[in-house]
Structure 1
């Protein structure tokens, strides 16, 4: 197996914004540049296998969820714009709701099945966009990867052409749930797995699919931590 290719801070440049796909708006491009700089100044970042990003087609990125840094970390090295689900209460805040909408977020109700959010995600995928899913539905309590929500399988198997497992590590230490603000100086790692075509997983039942993808991400996390000289998390 070839070692992962990496993208380090000085190489965070030269991104392009394609036209005619969900999320390709100037505000998103501007804010992505801003967050690239802010994150790169605060932490040591290593991004592996950026080249696995599909060049076209609706793509679901299934990622673990360690902190509020995750959406920036897992999307800012990609060429194509990303779409996100965000809890619906954020869209009740004046002005801020326009900011997060400009960042390609759309509301989802937490703690219940939200068919509206699912339909919107499917619409963006079928239009050729990319959608990020933090499959646990909430931030980790201890850095470990929790159970995945069942809706992940429905969205990935029915609407996406490509499924890309992603692991983020180090973000929990930088910004755990118990802290109001992040701590700078930590090493943050993002790694993308090889894309899985929908035909490879379409025949799986939902439980098998979720178990398979979660196992892939857990194994990725274990390998990332080994390379970083950090102890493996126990599951």
Structure 2
């Protein structure tokens, strides 16, 4: 596994054993972790089986509220999220176990089990952004790893298994009646799972535990009872909240699996304060959304740029291509080929170019087609029909196409469909990047008709548009003799280099299969 090459940045120093006054809260004779700048010999852990508590040993934050807010907002909507926020003072006054039960009930009651995909599509991104580098290095240095969590299994399994490569996670089960969650957790059965799947007489002696000093749950005591060194003491390492406060966030380059796809509307970590700010902003955001839409729909191109900037949408443009070059050589317009970040990419390209442009689309919702400020043409995914449609529209004027076929939020480019390369030699690559602070303007499993609404509600969305050099004749199909796949791959690489992104061979179908369990057809 790639993680075997990671430098271990945590030193386990054997301090004093836990005093009698805290033995009721911790495994007997547990050892405390202290993280230092120098490294520990990997051989001390490489042949061990580690049982670690996910929230205490891996995550920096001690609050579970943001993860439950993500579930409430994405699975239940605004009103359920508001209910959870209003109950936050009660959650603060309750103990950890009761607080978890309250949040589980609010977030899950009435949610259909088979429709719940947030654990795989939404939460992994926020878990990864909360992983402590030091704790991660210790956990990943062991030969086998088993995670235990106080959270429901449906929230953590996707993250632990798919993104960390952990063999198993012992989470809390949720009760289901007639296919719906009832908001109640089942009794934890981690002892049976650990005994049944992972331990025998030979491996028990090689098991170590990793948890937090501040946890006094019986779950820890039962779990760490498997971690024995002979018959004398528990081999359980504990880390304090003060130690975790000095941990660094795991860099993206160290992720065991690249984070390319994720879903959900919230672009920020929904802490209680940040969530309160979001609800306070929403009334103003809806008014601002209407004003921004009106500016794009009603105003002339020369006014749109300055008005949208006044309304908080910042657009940064760099123009490397001579957009007038090639005019008069052939009838019709130019074919602009851009990567796809949001539904409004063609709209902002039209504003930057200050001229009308037609966008070809695939799975655009009817609502989005009706409100679009620019002309849209729906493709059928039939190669011959789509080619004829694009050639016909290009003869009438400028055309923009997004060959990825779907949006990608992270700094990656999906595989480009090569159809555009057959249409014309007048190809201008466009590199687009977008930054938002509150909502994502795209979704794989939600209501696609609201994509542009969510994007325009953002306080200060930023667009970065680079109009690159027109594709040289030597890199085209008819003039340069290149195959359509070679042209598509070259354009993908040019756009990726301009944005500092990475090219992938993943497709639209891969995205929707991972995030929504379908092929993405609307």
TM-score by length of 2: 0.32
Check conservation: 2:418, 2:485, Cα contact below 8 A. Answer: yes
Count residues in correspondence. Answer: 188
Question: In structure 2, what is the Cα distance between the partners aligned to 1:234 and 1:195?
Answer: 20
> Among 370, 379, 382, which residue is 1:108 paired with?
379
Counterpart of 1:162 (choices 417, 426, 439) is 426
Name the CA distance, whole Å, in 2 between partners of 1:132 and 1:83: 6
Distance 1:43 1:211 in 2: 32
Aligned position for 1:142: 410
Does residue 494 of structure 2 align to residue 216 of structure 1?
yes
Cα distance change of structure 1 residues 82 and 134 upon mapping to structure 2, 3 Å threshold: same
Q: Deviations along 1:75-114, whole A, 9 cap, x unmatched?
A: 21114321111336645x6xx75554x72211113xx325
Q: Which has the larger radius of gyration?
A: 2
Q: Which residue of 1 aligns with 2:323?
A: 53
* Cα distance between partner residues in 2 of 1:169 and 1:187: 8
Which is further off, 168-177 or 141-150? 168-177
2: CA distance between counterparts of 1:31 and 1:117? 31
Query: What CA distance in whole angstroms lies between the structure 1 residues aligned with 2:379 and 2:350?
Result: 19
CA gap 1:177/1:103 in 2 versus in 1, 3 angstroms: closer
Deviation at 1:176, TM superposition (A): 4.7
Given the alignment of the two structures, is residue 132 of structure 1 paired with residue 400 of structure 2, yes or no? yes
Task: Tell me, in whole angstroms, the C-alpha distance in 2 between the residues paired with 1:75 and 1:138.
Answer: 19
- What is the Cα deviation at residue 163 of structure 1? 0.7
CA drift of 1:38 comes to 6.2
Cα distance in 2 for partners of 1:207, 1:151 equals 9
The equivalent residue for 1:152 is 420
Provide, for residues 163-188 of structure 1, a one-character-per-residue CA deviation record: whole Å limited to 9, x for no partner.
10001112576635359512232432
CA distance in 2, matches of 1:115, 1:31: 37
Counterpart CA distance in 2 for 1:234 and 1:90 is: 28
1:29: Cα distance to partner?
7.8
Q: Secondary structure at the match of 2:324?
A: coil
Which one scores higher on RCO, CA 8 angstroms, separation ≥ 6? Answer: 1
Aligned residue among 447, 466, 470 for 1:191: 466
Q: Which residue is equivalent to 1:7? A: none
CA RMSD of the aligned region, Å?
A: 3.2
Unaligned 5+ runs, structure 2 = 1-295, 505-522
Map Cα deviations across residues 147-206 of structure 1 (whole Å, 9 max, x no partner): 111212223xxxx24110001112576635359512232432100011125564121011
Aligned to 2:413, the other structure's residue is in SS state: coil
